[in-house]
Amino acid sequence: MTRDQLTEKILDIKRQRGLTWGEIYAFALPLSPVLTVGALLGQMRLAPRAAAEVGQFLGLNAEEIKMLGEIPNRGTPMPPSDPLLYRFYELLMVNGPAWKALIEEEFGDGIMSAIDFNLDLGREIDPKGDRVRITMSGKFLAFKYYECDRDAAFAVSNE
């Protein structure tokens, strides 16, 4: 079985049993719902205990449970064709340069980690139509500038 086939099997189980993502990720708590659903969709991995608990709830076999803990190939083709995913791409393309400038002004030269990262997703009730609320928090990682040992570099280049 491939990881893509496991994702399809999980989606089939979810559909056949009429489950919500919330009912499924409850077995992976305290892991984030976004991380858990991402893992079930093949983009993240679950810790062994969470993989076992979610896998048992879904009726997966030992090999499939083990696959939930394997390091995945992450990402999707760009630009995304799904309209909802495309809006995120569009947000980044339009607002990304301003976000970058503001982050650099506040923190300096570096990046926001997508590994040491939290994301919360919620609903904001609004009389004009409910809104999606997304809060991202990533550790700032300053770029490190390396110097070389001139004598060592010279010795290596002359060998």
Positions annotated as catalytic residues are 87, 90, 113
Residue 1 contacts residue 63 (beta carbons within 8 Å): yes
d(CA 146, CA 75): 30
Query: What is each CA distance from 88 to 11, 54, 103, 106, in whole angstroms?
Result: 23, 29, 19, 23
Q: Which residue has the tokens 């503001």?
A: 102
Distance between CA atoms of 3 and 40, rounded to whole angstroms?
Answer: 10
In this structure, what token pair is assigned to residue 74?
A: 């992450």
Q: What is the chain's length?
A: 159
Please tell me the distance from the alpha carbon of residue 5 to that of residue 156, in angstroms, as a whole number: 49
The helix or strand, by DSSP H or E, that contains position 123, with its residue range, turns out to be strand 110-124
